[in-house]
Each structure stands twice: as C-alpha cells, then as structure tokens.
Amino acid sequence: MTDINQILGKLLGSNLAGGFAGGLAGGLASNVLTSKSGRKMGKNALKMGGVAAVGALAYAAYQRYAAGNEKPSGVLNVPRSEAPLPPPPPDSAFLPPEGDTAGRETLGLTLVRAMIAAARADGRLDAQESQAIFQRIASLELPPDDQALLVKEMGRPVDMDAIVNSATSPEVAAEIYIASLLAVDVDTPAEQSYLAMLAARLNLDPDLVAELHRQVAAQTTGGA
C-alpha cells in the first residue's frame, strides 16, 4: 500500500524535485541533477507530515493575506524561521477531516503532481536523464510501493487541466501553488513564467501569491 503523505514529505525534505528541474531544463546532461536543487523544508515543519506541512504554509500565508497585513515588495531577504507552523484548523478547507484518509491521499497526490509539473515545466526527459532521476528516487529509501508510484508519476505526461481542476476551493488552490513553488528556486524566466501562468489559472490574487512566496521563503532553504 502506498503512502502519499510519506512520498510528499520525502520530496519536501530532500531537494529532489529541484534535481528534476535541473536535469530536465532544456534536455541538459544528467550530471546537472547534482547541481540544481529546489527548496527544502525544515524538519520541524515536516513533523506534522507532508500534506499537513503544505497546508500549514498555505494557511499561514492565507491568514496574513486575509488580515490585510502590509504586503512585502518582494520575497528576497526574508528571515528564515524554524518555528513550528500551526496546523490548519480541523474544520478548514486546507485539509480533509482527520478520518478522511481517501481525501488526504487524493490531496497529497495532487500536490506531488503539482511539484513534478513545476519541475518539468521547462524541459523534456531523455533516457539518460530518466536513469539519473530514478537513481535519485531510489536514494530516498522509500518503500517499494511508494517508490514505484513516484517513478510512475514521473513518467506520466503533465496534465495541467487536471491539476488546476483539482483546486476545489481557494485554499486548495493556494496549496497547489505552494507545492509548485517548493519544487523550484524560481531563478529562471521559464520558472517565473510557469508560476505566473499557474497563479492565473488558479485565480489567485497577486497579494495572496506574494504572501505564499514570503511564507515559503521564511520556512525553507533554497538550493543554488
């Protein structure tokens, strides 16, 4: 049996998704996989689990947005925080109810697919890159079923319509954007264009997008 929450947590805590981006961008050689990384969440944030951690980031950003706090002019030089994030309220739309295992698995799979789509936004996958990526997937030391699912998802064509249509509420839309943002460093025009397109398709307010960037910058480290 697969555990989407565990798969998502491994991706969020390993910089692996950014490695996908580094190797895929423009069909670059697979050794680029070792030099490009995405954002990495701290252990404290991940203690609540992968799905809940993404929900907590989105919830914190949404709170600031809803409160009308002064919005930053950019996302650079934001102090990083290891303080534990408060989980979303149990009755909010950020997470399915505690007992809704199927709902949480569905949301987790959507977030994994959003991360993969963002990482693959600027490239194609050849045989050499596939082998390197699969080796890095193996390095996560996931159980066989989880590893097989992640390999399968990496091989699927990106379906943007399905990802966008999975945003059944503004809260889930924010989580999809957060997951996508966590997969890249946003240091290329292609990544910036992809995120702008995604925000538009998810109907996210620019002020909320700024808060999502700020929250991710405060709770993660970025690769170079």
Q: Which of 147, 102, 132, 176 is nearest to 7 (CA)?
A: 147
Digit-coded pLDDT (tens) for 139-174? 777 888 988 888 888 888 889 999 999 999 999 999
If one compares 62 and 22, the residue with the highest pLDDT of the two is 62
Measure the CA–CA gap between 214 and 74, rounded to whole angstroms: 8
Given a contact cutoff of 8 angstroms between Cβ atoms, the answer to whether 219 and 42 are in contact is yes
Measure the CA–CA gap between 41 and 14, rounded to whole angstroms: 8
- Name, of 118-122, 131-135, 201-205, the range with top average pLDDT: 201-205
* pLDDT the model gives residue 22: 41
Measure the CA–CA gap between 113 and 110, rounded to whole angstroms: 5
Alpha carbon distances (Å) from 2 to 51, 63, 162, 222: 14, 33, 21, 28
Domain ranges (residues) in the chain = 4-76+83-222
Query: CA Rg, the chain, in Å?
Result: 16
Quote the distance between the C-alpha of residue 192 and its chain's center. 15
pTM: 0.80
123 phi/psi in degrees, rounded to 5: -155, -175
Digit-coded pLDDT (tens) for 79-120? 444 456 778 888 889 999 888 989 999 999 999 999 888 887
Burial level of 212, CB count in 10 A (0-12/13-18/19+)? buried
